[in-house]
Structure 1
């Protein structure tokens, strides 16, 4: 009897120990980002966060090709493989309306230190859906004209002028051209729509009316898009495979002297002007506003940030990190590492102006 009682007591002690001290820790938060400056900056910031807090965040860098479709598939399938994901703000409405990402108002608004007034109104609007925050703002990037100053004395003022300069620097047209093609832009699936924004506005076009009516067949929209089509098919001043190009291809083409100018992103400019990373062209790179069309010159501004997966395993841990990352301390560390925080207090810091002379124009 004593032996049986002893076994029962021992069993209760073991079971009690399991219940008291055997609780499993929350899994490490997982955040997806695509390769490029933002991904590299995110990894550096996550390490700084771990050094400061002892808390680990897993940063999973995905290839840029099919990145958006990959995370959309994961979110729509209710995957628990990620807790948060980085992308541009225009994807928010569809994901928020479908309940695939969660609002983060309760975290942002209750923290006075987060200081939402440090973000311009336009950034705040882009981060919201139905007046609720669905994205932590991490980056601001613009897509405009980048050109080689040692080859092109002055940036083209109009799109027609750009085409003529591009012909001069296309070797199939001018055998003496130092570059193979005269121009390039990002036209990969899922990317071209954004690239089109600048030239579209310059021609007075719009894909959608204020009342939601599609204007794809509108004469102004067709005229604007025809410029891109003719550059590839008629004038042949851009690579034929430009329809698969995104940031990495544009960066390489500029670094290696394949093109003298391109529609490029400010996020990648620090790489281009760094002599260690771009030794062939650093010192001869300038950033200019987009060429003008009949309705003026327009430059596309891209706010980016992090969305939280509605089905994530450790969304609380991810949110804690993202509040720090996009707060004032984390934003500075992230920007120093190659990101580009949209906080006014960051854009106003003159220490960034030598490598990012376009910052004052973003205020």
Structure 2
């Protein structure tokens, strides 16, 4: 249930061909792997090849990040070229923009437990559901503590269910605070680190420079949950705490949701249209030069620097989102993570491929070629990433502040219930009473 937005794209001077060439270089100039031929009548876990030796076949079920299987198959072929024991074939699922269809097809495949799938990519909010159903093979014994520490902590937390690691981080997304650098300089100000400071600065920008001070997203959809998590977590609150208790009507949550509403009705720095806006409707006024600051996903930086789409080229930067007093900056995590199917008949091979996908070289290549931000912290120190995807490097701190949405096997129902309740609270008020009712609803679900 990943909010739909494009991945970060290379700077305009980088063509797809050049990025692909850089990605290939990042993988050590590997020779192209031979083309794969389908053998649909063979059994799962079969061996393929001949002459120089037979390889065991692995199947990777993955969303179509580039609109078809060819792109991901080409990427998997880089792994195929690194060794001679296994050959990976990509099983194409619908793209992330068709999240419901992708989820349906993946769960149908995993539920069969017949070896049809060995490795799979999953939206971060599906992890608990698939683990609870027994469709994801636990990874604790195959992933060292040192490897876990190499990823952003919030992503590892999202990959953990009931104390067990059930997924391996792959790529991430997170919200950041976009702001107009020219307006900051003109006002002699710096990016705000506190939410109330943001409200004051947005009011000053709105009074002196732009029609709208601050934009965010509160449409009754998944994006509302993402913004909600950021406000609540930055106030040291939880929707569902680590013990599984529902805390959505706690003082920290009430204060956070009240502030969300106050941005529109008290401080008047956000228009009421935010209650019906998701990603793109909120992005357009900002890149049109009519907004001082905005909460948004990582892809917006690239759009803001594209003269065909933006009137503020060279006038935008991004910083971590603010916090409440005593809290910490928090960004809602998005992205797809990796799993090994419980029904795989070749778990050793599956883990080998999983480790390759999560490795430094593969994550760098995936970032350059597909525009998806690495989950491995050290990749952000790579010069090639700074050259090909500067926005990712700017957002490293935001990724490090990432927090997951509620980790529950019933996430879809939890999300829908919260969308309805929080939307009512924002539009009609009675925040405390609405969240108290939401707590009872969530307790009946989880």
- Relative to the length of structure 1, the TM-score reads 0.69
**Alignment size in residue pairs:** 326
Larger displacement relative to structure 2 (334-343 or 309-318): 309-318
Deviation at 1:225, TM superposition (A): 0.4
Mapped to 1, the partners of 2:138 and 2:241 lie a distance apart of: 30
Deviation at 1:25, TM superposition (A): 7.4
Larger displacement relative to structure 2 (183-192 or 338-347): 183-192
Q: Which of 278, 281, 285 is the equivalent residue of 2:312? A: 281
Deviation at 1:228, TM superposition (A): 1.2
Mapped to 1, the partners of 2:156 and 2:257 lie a distance apart of: 30
Deviation at 1:147, TM superposition (A): 0.6
Question: Residues 339-350 of structure 1: matches in 2 within 5 Å?
Answer: 339-350=372-383
Alpha-carbon spacing, 1:219–1:164, altered in 2? closer, same or farther (3 Å): same
Would you say 1:220 and 2:252 are equivalent positions? Answer: yes
Mapped to 2, the partners of 1:132 and 1:203 lie a distance apart of: 27
Q: Which of 139, 152, 159 is the equivalent residue of 1:105? A: 139
Aligned-partner SS, 1:137: coil
Mapped to 1, the partners of 2:281 and 2:344 lie a distance apart of: 35
Between Structure 1 and Structure 2, whose CA radius of gyration is higher? 1
Alpha-carbon spacing, 1:157–1:128, altered in 2? closer, same or farther (3 Å): closer
- Post-superposition Cα deviations, 1:46-76, rounded to whole Å, max 9, x if no partner, equal 4333366486525545364x72x44445556
Would you say 1:48 and 2:80 are equivalent positions? Answer: no
Larger displacement relative to structure 2 (246-255 or 141-150): 246-255
Deviation at 1:85, TM superposition (A): 3.8
Mapped to 2, the partners of 1:319 and 1:244 lie a distance apart of: 43
Question: Residues 155-304 of structure 1: matches in 2 within 5 Å?
Answer: 155-168=191-204, 178-179=210-211, 181-188=212-219, 189-209=221-241, 211-233=243-265, 237-265=269-297, 267-268=298-299, 270-272=301-303, 274-275=305-306, 278-300=309-331, 302=333, 304=335
Larger displacement relative to structure 2 (42-51 or 291-300): 42-51
Aligned-partner SS, 2:373: coil
Alpha-carbon spacing, 1:278–1:43, altered in 2? closer, same or farther (3 Å): farther
Q: Which of 396, 401, 418 is the equivalent residue of 1:359? A: 396
- Relative to the length of structure 2, the TM-score reads 0.58
Alpha-carbon spacing, 1:96–1:340, altered in 2? closer, same or farther (3 Å): same
Mapped to 2, the partners of 1:228 and 1:282 lie a distance apart of: 29
Deviation at 1:293, TM superposition (A): 2.0
- Post-superposition Cα deviations, 1:232-273, rounded to whole Å, max 9, x if no partner, equal 4555543544345444444444333343311123x3255146
Alpha-carbon spacing, 1:157–1:166, altered in 2? closer, same or farther (3 Å): same
Mapped to 1, the partners of 2:345 and 2:278 lie a distance apart of: 32
Unaligned runs of 5+ in 1: 1-20
Alpha-carbon spacing, 1:212–1:346, altered in 2? closer, same or farther (3 Å): same
Mapped to 1, the partners of 2:331 and 2:322 lie a distance apart of: 12
Deviation at 1:346, TM superposition (A): 0.8
Deviation at 1:320, TM superposition (A): 7.0
Would you say 1:92 and 2:127 are equivalent positions? Answer: yes
Mapped to 2, the partners of 1:46 and 1:22 lie a distance apart of: 16
Name the counterpart of 1:14: none
Mapped to 1, the partners of 2:333 and 2:228 lie a distance apart of: 13
Alpha-carbon spacing, 1:253–1:121, altered in 2? closer, same or farther (3 Å): same
Alpha-carbon spacing, 1:156–1:105, altered in 2? closer, same or farther (3 Å): closer
Name the counterpart of 1:5: none
- Post-superposition Cα deviations, 1:9-32, rounded to whole Å, max 9, x if no partner, equal xxxxxxxxxxxx994476975412
Deviation at 1:155, TM superposition (A): 1.9
Question: Residues 303-322 of structure 1: matches in 2 within 5 Å?
Answer: 304-308=335-339, 322=354
